[in-house]
Amino acid sequence: MGWIGETVDSIKSLQIRQVLTQAVSLGMIVTSALIIWKALMCITGSESPVVVVLSGSMEPGFKRGDILFLHMSKDPIRAGEIVVFNVDGREIPIVHRVIKVHERQDTGEVDVLTKGDNNYGDDRLLYAHGQLWLQRHHIMGRAVGFLPYVGWVTIIMTEKPIIKYILIGALGLLVITSKD
Amino acid sequence: MHSFGYRANALLTFAVTILALMCAMASFSDNLNHPSPSSSVQVLNVNWFQKQPNGNDEVSLTLNISADLQSLFTWNTKQVFVFLAAEYETPKNSLNQISLWDGIIASKEHAKFWTHTSNKYRFIDQGSNLRGKEFNLTLHWHVMPKTGKMFADKLVMSGYRLPKEYR
């Protein structure tokens, strides 16, 4: 029974105040990340203010692993803009360029056709069966700026989840064990 | 206080901050460039012009496009995406934009060009409004930076008109 007593003593010797401090600092990190994300959502007006490019269909402009900053304003959509859109029945949003726009006289609704710079044909093959045009509600935002390579972190983490767990574990350990 | 982890952390934070600052400055420096591009487009021929079975007008054009976009390039420019769009108004639509030709310019050396081409994407109206229609040809460009904010602008060339009859 001796070693159990020792363990209990060593747990008791951890000051409760220090444990609380670690818990609070961990909570602060998580909440500040959440605050930044939600603030970005408010500023850009887009559901997902930052997206990672997953395919090479916009090369050489955007490569796999680049990060795009999105903005969703009331401004009308025009040809040439790079938009991120969701097609009914597809989960992953697509980043492509607008090549045709038809805007209604009376309602202001738009019919939009997109194409990837690196693709041979337009996107009608990617749209839902029988869909010829994208409407406003399909579009999540337009790309306004970009940062190369940074998105590789998330691509690696989604494709190799083990690395994600190792990273989270290591960071957690670091926060808990750090003394300053 | 002076452990390895602490120093590595400080170094990494500093490096990332400097990198972010350099990216921001590179993106900002694009604002100091005041480009003065020029362009001209001729419609050489109307190859054919007809009404599709579904009632939409379609036309095929041969174009001669020349442009000088060298002044758009700065040290932070990765590429310039350039396209020519036909823009017109119909009773149904307040704006129709149809891309007819596009291209990617990768370097300043290739930014002064001319090309002789038929329209790369189909010029189809929503409806049957193209006979005798006056339209603008607009050269748009989107500057993609190596990092940071993207720029776009255009040159409108007006006074083009489609024939009055199908052919």
Measured distance CA(A59)–CA(B106) in Å, rounded: 11
**pLDDT score of B15 more than 90:** yes
**pLDDT score of A180 more than 60:** no
CATH architecture, range B33-161? Sandwich (2.60)
pLDDT digits (tens, 9 = 90+) for B142-154: 998 888 888 889 9
pLDDT digits (tens, 9 = 90+) for B78-128: 899 999 999 999 998 999 999 999 999 988 899 899 999 998 888 999 888
Bridge partner list, A35: none
For A149, nearest residue in chain B (alpha carbons): B147
The pLDDT confidence band at residue A129, using thresholds 50, 70 and 90, is confident
| DSSP class per residue in chain A | -HHHHHHHHHHHHS-HHHHHHHHHHHHHHHHHHHHHHHHHHHHH--SSSEEE--SSTTTTTS-TT-EEEEE--SSPP-TT-EEEE--TT--S-EEEEEEEEEEETTT--EEEEEE-TTSSS-GGGTSSTT---B-GGGEEEEEEEEESSTTHHHHHHHH-HHHHHHHHHHHHHHHHH---
pLDDT at position A12 is: 66
Location of structure tokens 């202001």 = A108
- For an interface test with B, give the residue of A109, A146, A171, A175 to mutate (most B CBs within 10 A): A146
pLDDT digits (tens, 9 = 90+) for A43-88: 888 778 888 888 888 888 888 888 888 888 888 889 989 999 988 8
pLDDT at position B1 is: 58
For B144, nearest residue in chain A (alpha carbons): A61
Measured distance CA(A100)–CA(B95) in Å, rounded: 10
CB B85 within 8 A of CB B99: yes
Residue A114, Cβ density class (10 Å: 0-12 exposed, 13-18 middle, ≥19 buried): buried
**Mean pLDDT over each residue of chain A, to the nearest integer:** 85
CATH classification at residue A90: 2.10.109.10
Residue B6, CA distances (Å) to A166, A174, B11 in order: 20, 11, 9
Q: What is the ipTM of this complex?
A: 0.84
pLDDT at position B165 is: 87
Bridge partner list, B115: B65
In a domain, A13, yes or no: no
Gap from B132 CA to chain A (nearest CA, Å): 19
Across the interface, whether the CB atoms of A81 and B126 are under 8 A apart is answered no
Q: Touching check for A175 and chain B: CB below 8 Å?
A: no
pLDDT at position A91 is: 80
Q: Worst-scoring range by mean pLDDT, A11-20, A133-142, B124-133?
A: A11-20
So where are chain B's domains?
A: 1-30, 33-161
Residue scoring higher pLDDT (A1 or A100): A100
**pLDDT score of A104 more than 70:** yes
Element (H, E) at B159: strand B151-161
In the chain, the amino acid numbered B154 is: K
In a domain, A45, yes or no: no
Across the interface, whether the CB atoms of B85 and A80 are under 8 A apart is answered yes
Determine the structural domain holding residue A77 and report its residue range: 50-149
**pLDDT score of B156 more than 70:** yes
Which residues, in sequence order, are CB contacts of B20 under 8 Å at separation 6+?
A: none
Which residues, in sequence order, are CB contacts of A153 under 8 Å at separation 6+?
A: none
Gap from A81 CA to chain B (nearest CA, Å): 8
Residue scoring higher pLDDT (A17 or B19): B19
Closest to A143 (Cα-Cα) out of A73, A71, A79, A41: A71
Measured distance CA(B71)–CA(B141) in Å, rounded: 12
Residue B140 in 3-state DSSP? strand
Question: Which residues on chain B are in Cβ contact (under 8 Å) with A145?
Answer: 27, 145, 148-150
Query: Mean pLDDT across the stretch A108-134?
Result: 88
**Number of domains within chain A:** 1
Closest to B165 (Cα-Cα) out of B137, B132, B134: B132
Measured distance CA(B65)–CA(A33) in Å, rounded: 50
The pLDDT confidence band at residue B138, using thresholds 50, 70 and 90, is very high
In a domain, A145, yes or no: yes
pLDDT digits (tens, 9 = 90+) for B37-86: 999 999 998 898 999 898 899 999 999 999 999 999 998 888 999 999 99
Residues of B with CB under 8 A from a CB of A: 1, 5-6, 23, 27, 78-79, 81, 83, 85, 90-99, 102, 104, 106, 121, 126, 140, 142, 144-150, 152
pLDDT at position A45 is: 81
Query: Mean pLDDT across the stretch A22-50?
Result: 87
